[in-house]
Structures are given as C-alpha cells and as structure tokens.
C-alpha cells in the first residue's frame, strides 16, 4: 500500500499539515480533491491544521494509502486511513487502536475475495466498502488465525469495537455483511452473523426543501455549468454519482428523456427531462464543449469530482441565505416529494427514482403536505 507521512508544518505564518509521499498521480488527485496546496519550498502538499481537515485526510485516503502520523500523534507506528471522530468538547481526535498490518495469509484471502466480487460484478463502491471492513475486522483479531475466528469472536468484535467506538448502525451492517459474504465464499465456513445484534433501524424522514427554497438555490450560481448541474439533479431526481457519470449522448432532446446508465444496483432507467433543462444544457454545452462526460472538471475527458460538486451546492446554499445543512441528496428528496404533491402516481415516482421496492418510495408520503395542509386543527375552532 502507498505511504503518506503527516508532519506539522508552519507555512506562511499558518499552522498546517504537510503530506509527504513519493510522486503518485492518484494521491496527487486526491490531494487536489481535498483542496490541498503544493509547497515548492517544503516539497509537499499542505492544508490547514485543524480537526476537520485531519478527519478529511483519513476519509479521503481510506483504502488508498497508509497514513504515518507518528509526528502528529507522537506514536511509534502509523495507521491505515480509517474514520476518525472529533469530540466537540475538547477538540481531541480519538481513533480505535488497531494493529496496522495484516499477515500474508489474510492479505491473500482478502485479495481472493476482492477478485471474486469483481467477477460477480459488484460495484466499485461495494467492493471498497467490504474490503475496508475486512481489513478492520482482521486487524482487530490480528493474533487469532483466520480459521479459528468463531461466533463468540463476532460478539466480542461487536461490543469491543463497533459499540465501544459508537459507530453508526449502517456501518455496523456493512461490516456484518462483509464478514458474512467473505466466510461463505472464500473461507467456506458459516459464521452465525445473527449473533451480532443488528440495531433497530431508526425511522428517519427524508429532508425536503420547499419549492421556494429550491428556486432560491438554483438561481444563485452565476457559472452556467454549476447552475446546470444543480438544476439537473433536482429536475430529474438524480443521485450525485448518476449526474457525474452522464455523457452528452444520454440526453435525448427529441424524446425529452434522460437516460441513466448503470446506476445503483447496475440498473438503467429513463426519466423525463423538461424543455427548460434541455435549453439550459444547450447553453452550457455551447459554452463548455465537454469531450467525454456531460460535466467535466479542469481536465478535459475527466468527470467532475464529487467533492467539487458538493462545494458548488454549499456555495449556492450560502448565497441563497438558507441556514439548513442542505446536501445534494436533499434535492433528490425534494424532487420526489414535489412530484407527489403535484399528484404524480407513486408507482411512476418509484420508476423515476430507480427504487426496487415501493416501500422505499412510500417514505415520501410521510413528508408530503398535499393532504396534511387540508386538515384543520381543532385549535382553529376554539
């Protein structure tokens, strides 16, 4: 695995974190995504030294590089990039203490599992998530031979790692799924993952913006590319990854549809696209002339990055003077809810969102105000 050394750096009268590593295009691109800057004097990439940026470094390079933070934490060993948590009360960085290395047998079997998932055409995100989960699990049991890990060890891992570090229920589920699949395929041994108590999933309502709030956000970007990206996400209910994977030929202006290829679950689907959006896309295309992807970054032929897209939304929300912690997925939720409020059949909304089950789509009935606003409170009769 690639190595990055973190060092304290005093640059231009500011406290910074210096990232030192051998020249590598992938790591350089990740630094740019993190909005690090290059210091010719110190021959390193650097970013402001604060808990948020330190957490982002571990998140961005998770699974990509081994982070040697010896000088940062005054420890004798480094640490593979993994999630860290920030305590608001004292601004201290806390992270689970795990051995940094795996033995060759475990590495070999994890690699075999990775090849198996690729053969079965699992998505890149799923493969990365499962491999990262297995690295954490087997590092926790670094002194136990892989074939001797038992059901009781699963309970131990759940209590002493997942629950102790207060990781989320979804993260717990990811690790359980990864362990179960690994042992049933590569190790050919059945572990009773039911022994790890899965927490009762909280019922959370999707975050939805009003039509006025959406309008305020979409009209703030002055850059035609930024305006087109945010508008298309809302107008077609896209996930951010679906937007970034679009190509010019996926816009069928004659039929007024947008073709979404190999979305979540490796499914294709089509959604209607308004003539107003098509006209906006024509203006954008004329101005930017993308080569391969509909929305490209500074390098022609390379897709716009997810990090930059998030910054576009963040700037638009700030300019619209909206105080809510709006995310890109809020626009997708708002699209579905506004369709429902306009009288669109739930079955059509399910198809346009690409949901497997209607139960997933039905969640929007709980946030739609179409019928709730017609209910008169008994207080009004007093």
* Alpha-carbon torsion angle 225, 226, 230, 232, nearest 10: 0
- Cβ(328)–Cβ(229) below 8 Å: no
- CA–CA separation, 273 vs 283, rounded Å? 16
Cβ-based neighbours of 90, under 8 Å, separated by 6 or more = none
Q: Which of 55, 62, 95, 239 is catalytic?
A: 239
- Tokens representing 47 are 């970013």
Nearest partner of 364 among 220, 239, 205, 228, judged by Cα: 205
* Alpha-carbon torsion angle 349, 353, 358, 360, nearest 10: -120
Phi and psi at 67, nearest 5°, equal: -90, 115
Annotated active-site residue 332? The verdict is yes
Tell me the chain's radius of gyration from C-alpha atoms: 24
**Strand-strand pairing, 79-80 and 65-68:** antiparallel
Q: Which of 195, 264, 269, 314 is catalytic?
A: 264
Annotated active-site residue 164? The verdict is no
- CA–CA separation, 30 vs 260, rounded Å? 26
- Cβ(290)–Cβ(301) below 8 Å: no
- CA–CA separation, 106 vs 88, rounded Å? 37
- CA–CA separation, 374 vs 370, rounded Å? 7
Annotated active-site residue 120? The verdict is no
Q: Which of 128, 156, 314, 355 is catalytic?
A: 355
- Cβ(364)–Cβ(349) below 8 Å: yes
Annotated active-site residue 264? The verdict is yes
Q: Which of 332, 333, 335, 338 is catalytic?
A: 332
For residue 136, give the H/E element and its range. Answer: helix 124-140
- Tokens representing 43 are 């021959």
Question: Which residue in the block uniquely carries the two structure tokens 């050919």?
Answer: 188
Annotated active-site residue 329? The verdict is yes
Q: Which of 32, 64, 314, 329 is catalytic?
A: 329
Cβ-based neighbours of 264, under 8 Å, separated by 6 or more = 123, 239, 241, 242, 354
Active site residues: 239, 264, 329, 332, 355, 364
């Amino acid at each position: 695995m690639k190595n990055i050394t973190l060092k304290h750096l005093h640059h231009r009268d500011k406290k910074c974190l210096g990232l030192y590593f051998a020249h590598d295009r992938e790591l350089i691109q990740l630094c740019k995504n993190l909005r690090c800057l290059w210091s010719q004097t110190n021959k390193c990439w650097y970013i402001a030294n604060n808990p948020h940026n330190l957490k982002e470094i571990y998140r961005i390079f998770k699974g990509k590089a081994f982070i040697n933070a010896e000088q940062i934490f005054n420890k004798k060993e480094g640490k593979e990039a993994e999630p860290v948590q920030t305590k608001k009360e004292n601004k201290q960085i806390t992270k689970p203490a795990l051995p940094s290395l795996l033995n060759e047998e475990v590495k070999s079997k994890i690699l075999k599992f990775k090849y198996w998932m690729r053969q079965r055409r699992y998505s890149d995100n799923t493969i990365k998530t499962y491999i990262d989960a297995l690295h954490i699990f087997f590092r926790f049991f670094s002194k136990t031979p892989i074939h001797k890990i038992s059901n009781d060890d699963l309970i131990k891992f759940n209590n002493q790692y997942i629950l102790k570090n207060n990781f989320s229920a979804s993260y717990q589920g990811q690790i359980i799924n990864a362990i179960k699949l690994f042992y049933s395929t590569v190790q050919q041994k059945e572990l009773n993952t039911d022994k790890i108590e899965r927490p009762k999933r909280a019922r959370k309502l999707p975050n939805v913006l009003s039509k006025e709030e959406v309008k305020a956000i979409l009209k703030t970007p002055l850059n035609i590319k930024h305006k087109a990206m945010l508008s298309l996400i809302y107008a077609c209910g896209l996930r951010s990854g679906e937007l970034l994977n679009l190509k010019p030929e996926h816009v069928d202006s004659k039929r007024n549809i947008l073709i979404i290829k190999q979305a979540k679950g490796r499914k294709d689907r089509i959604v209607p696209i308004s003539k107003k959006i098509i006209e906006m896309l024509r203006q954008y295309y004329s101005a930017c002339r993308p080569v391969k992807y509909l929305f490209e970054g500074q390098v022609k032929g390379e897709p716009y990055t997810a990090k930059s897209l998030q910054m576009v939304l963040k700037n638009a929300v700030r300019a619209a003077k909206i105080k809510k912690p709006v995310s890109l997925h809020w626009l997708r939720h708002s699209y579905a809810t506004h369709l429902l409020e306009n009288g669109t059949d739930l079955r059509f909304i399910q198809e346009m969102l690409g949901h497997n089950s209607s139960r997933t789509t039905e969640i929007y009935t709980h946030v739609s105000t179409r019928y709730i606003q017609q209910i008169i409170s008994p207080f009004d009769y007093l």
